[in-house]
Amino acid sequence: MKNLNGKAVLHFTWAEKAEFSKGGFSFAIAPPCVEINGVLLNARPDLRQTEEAGLYRYILSEKAEALMEMRSYPGFARLRYLLKGEGAELTKSKGKDNFSYTGFEIPEHSKITELQINQYAATRHAYLPQILERPEAEWLGELSFSGPILLAEWVPEPGKKHTLLCAYEHGGEYTDDFLKFNLRRRDGVFNVSLECGDGTYCNKTCFSDKKPYVTPWFQIGFCEGGREDMLRAYRNFMLHDMGELSSRTPYIFYNTWNNQERNRAFRGRRYLQDMNTERMLKEIDLAHRIGIDVFVIDTGWYKNTGDWDVDLDRFPDDLGEIRRRLEAYGMKLGLWFNPSAAALSSKISREHPEYRKQFEGKDVNIGPVWETEESYSMCLVTDYADWLIEKLVGIGERYGVRYFKWDAVDMRGCTSPHHNHGGEGTGAEEREKNFRFQCGLSLTRIASELSRRLPGAIVDLDVTEGRRYVGLGFLAAGKFFHMNNGPYYHDFDIPNARDTYRENWNVFFYPGPARNHVCRQSLAYDALIPSLLFLTHFLPDGPSWARQNALASLCLGGNGIWGDLHSLSDADIEEISFCINSYKRVARDVTEAYPVVSGFIGASPEIHEKINPETGMGLVAFFTREPADVVYCTQALDTIPSVSGADEWEKLEGGRVKICMKLKQNDARLVFFG
């Protein structure tokens, strides 16, 4: 089995130890070590064949075992542990989580790099990645960091490099250090262990054969090459192997919300004034003309949260004509949900008050949800999660919904002693930390079930603000909704901003380059995680120069358009349609292409090359703040198809293409290859 680059799978051998190998390189991973019933236990491999392929058994004690579930991919492997037994409890005899998941040795003096992906920058209104080199001089004998990705690079012999990757599939805003890497120098090697941090379980957490304790997934990868080679290989793994493939398809998304917000902020109307069948059908017709694939009706389509029944006053035919119109156009229907909200009058809230989030002994009421009824916040670390799966699957089957936008899931704030994150015997702080840890795992499980039971379904998790579940875990099941309106006035420390701008807190939501500068922040991930996994919405408004700036940004992978198509003229629609259809011809190649970037966001010029060198298809996007005459040469291409959009271009020796562009102030231009 080989991947697109012809590199073999990472082979796994189960003998006296668990060992991975690739080419002439091999390394063993340490078995788990966990405190159970007050005793720290080292797992021992059980070499008897397990009944199910991909499961490998470790013996912990007479009462407990650990099953390692392992999946192999080109160059990478994913694994996790399921703790089973009878009369077994996870304990914390020293007051801290005590679970070492795995470990391995790498050569001494390896170059260590930490990759963070969950740092939230409020003024840029975006989560951003960070690459941090960790030189030995900083270690002071040992080193600990949260990642979630560790890279180790070394030189096995002159002229060669090897790079090892270890990562975990969890998330949370940075400083939620649920898991961590520990590194120590010992006997001429670096010893690396992946361990729990704080909050991964509560003291005396029971597990059994019927209800095992399940860890997050972990990742191991290896390549013959340096850090950049590993980043390219990992991006390919993320795109093709790790996650649900529908979320990796470069659809164009449309969301109704921007019109709804303009109603409230500018037109003296209510958010939900245009939430009706007639308006939606007109928007669907316009969306079809510009090439939309997924039409998302944002908040207000439902009568109340929790029941999630269609509001028949607004949609008397129960979305029937909307569904038929979308199907006739070959478009998917998407709906907005807050998966943690349930109205006070909803059946689930009334019949199961024990599912409500509680803080300091009181139910958490989040107030009216976008001009609908007041709602409780429900705890996803209860049996409510299983109820929600059935509810959403039922909606998907009944209405043909294949896109679920999940909004406003706060990862903090439940201290109930009656849920599945600690009982009366644990303190409120410990229960709240474990809620945060398990909430993300629950979101991923729900999204995975929706994708499994509704073929082609996409679940999109809002990460447009802080306190969200940002990490590798959810990307195995869906994608992130990375940007909507952008930063808030109060993020800029403007005095009395919440009062002065109470009608609309958003700063950058007008047409022009400023909002697009914010929206393009997600491209910082593209060297590691494909940019289409960070859905970002761009304004379709004119004037034309502003629209072209938004469209050029969209075609780099954000792939979203942000409401209010009715404000556009026929000429505007044709302009957008031409660009979208040009992009669609090369969208899959743009998705495959590793990014080549010149200049920072907002620079004059700022250039993004997204061309698949094997096919020669893709695009180059040019942006500038000040007028500029730009000459740009692409990477070497195996083949050079047609080129459109350049002022001048020519083929160079070695397969490169020279592009000449004369850019005006605040200009944006797209050059398509193919």
Tell me the per-residue pLDDT of 41-53, one tens digit each, with 9 for 90 and over: 999 999 876 667 8
* CB-based contact 440:168 (threshold 8 Å): no
Residue 469 has a pLDDT of: 95
Tokens of 239: 């795109």
Could you tell me which residues come within 8 angstroms of residue 389 by beta carbon, excluding any fewer than 6 positions away? Answer: 446, 449, 450
Q: CB neighbours (10 Å) of residue 601?
A: 19
Q: How far apart are CA 555 and CA 670, in angstroms?
A: 9
219's enclosing H/E stretch is strand 218-223
The closest of 473, 439, 467 to 357, measured between CA atoms, is: 439
Residue 176 has a pLDDT of: 85
Residue 7 has a pLDDT of: 52
Q: How far apart are CA 61 and CA 59, in angstroms?
A: 6
**Which residues of the chain are modeled with pLDDT < 50?**
1-6
Q: How far apart are CA 387 and CA 352, in angstroms?
A: 11
309's enclosing H/E stretch is none
Tell me the per-residue pLDDT of 416-436, one tens digit each, with 9 for 90 and over: 999 999 999 999 999 999 999
Q: How far apart are CA 289 and CA 280, in angstroms?
A: 14
Q: What is the pTM of this model?
A: 0.96
Residue 113 has a pLDDT of: 97
Q: In whole angstroms, how large is the CA radius of gyration of the chain?
A: 26
Tokens of 194: 């992946």
Q: How far apart are CA 179 and CA 216, in angstroms?
A: 10
Domains of the chain by start residue, with CATH:
11-242 (2.70.98), 251-339+386-412+440-587 (3.20.20.70), 606-673 (no CATH)
Left, alpha or beta for 241 (phi > 0: left; psi -120 to 50: alpha)?
alpha
Q: How far is CA 493 from CA 488, 489, 490, 507, 515, in A?
A: 10, 7, 5, 13, 19
Q: How far apart are CA 144 and CA 179, in angstroms?
A: 10
Q: How far apart are CA 222 and CA 234, in angstroms?
A: 10
